[in-house]
Chains A and B, each alone.
Chain A
Amino acid sequence: DGGITQSPKYLFRKEGQNVTLSCEQNLNHDAMYWYRQDPGQGLRLIYYSQIVNDFQKGDIAEGYSVSREKKESFPLTVTSAQKNPTAFYLCASTSFLGGSYEQYFGPGTRLTVT
């Protein structure tokens, strides 16, 4: 089955610790994205990557870092510099073939930092 997996589903961390969220896709998609969702807010773009070893900041990149060493994987690190890390994090991917802008989303990771 093709799709996007995010792990873990729920993650708890103490304040001051860095934490890495996993995102893997087997859809052979070119581009991958990280969003966060807060209550009453839409999806806000953190980082995105169109190709291996390249990525760009989204609208709210401060306090986050990413890597894209493999086409299938796009992990997100939430650093201690992120002031409000508790949120629901969503990973997405898309293919550039066919001119479609449809992004496919993973199931999300709920991060709670106390």
Chain B
Amino acid sequence: DQQVKQNSPSLSVQEGRISILNCDYTNSMFDYFLWYKKYPAEGPTFLISISSIKDKNEDGRFTVFLNKSAKHLSLHIVPSQPGDSAVYFCAASVAGANSKLTFGKGITLSVRP
């Protein structure tokens, strides 16, 4: 039973445009969400997170939106750059649950020059 779903396996956008990466979850107990970026043969690096008490968190070009009623979050990258081309993982956690993270399968983002 996949509790964190990234239904689109890939996304291609033009440099300078907006990239929107979507993530859905089924476990209503999740209350903390994170996005990681991963290059091939490297470990994931943390990008941005959001607590369930917020509906938006922004950090430079990256903004995460959370819609709790829809159990949906999205990562917006504006403007997209070729260096953003990577796999992006959505992850979720339940407060107090040993800091365990549940990951989605990832979305491969390609930013065309």
Contact = CB atoms under 8 A, between A and B. Distances in A.
Contacts of A6: 43
B99 interface: yes
Contacts of A103: 46, 99, 101
25 contacts: A6-B43, A31-B98, A33-B100, A40-B9, A42-B4, A42-B6, A42-B103, A42-B105, A43-B101, A44-B103, A45-B101, A48-B98, A48-B100, A50-B99, A90-B43, A92-B43, A94-B99, A99-B95, A101-B34, A101-B101, A102-B34, A103-B46, A104-B46, A108-B41, A108-B42
Nearest to B89: A42
B106 to A, nearest CB: 6
B99 A96 contact: yes
Contacts of A43: 44, 89, 91, 101, 103
Contacts of B42: 107-108
Contacts of B110: none
Contacts of A50: 98-99
Interface in B26-62: 32, 34, 36, 41-46, 49
Contact of B100 (A4, A42, A45, A105): A45
Interface of B: 4, 6, 9, 32, 34, 36, 41-46, 49, 89, 91, 93, 95, 98-101, 103-106
A5 to B, nearest CB: 11
A96 B99 CA distance: 8
A106 B38 CA distance: 12
B99 A42 contact: no
B105 A41 contact: yes
B22 to A, nearest CB: 15
Given A41-B105, A50-B98, A103-B101, 20 more contacts: A4-B43, A31-B98, A31-B99, A42-B4, A42-B105, A42-B106, A45-B100, A48-B98, A48-B100, A56-B98, A92-B43, A94-B99, A99-B95, A101-B34, A101-B99, A104-B46, A105-B36, A105-B45, A107-B42, A108-B41
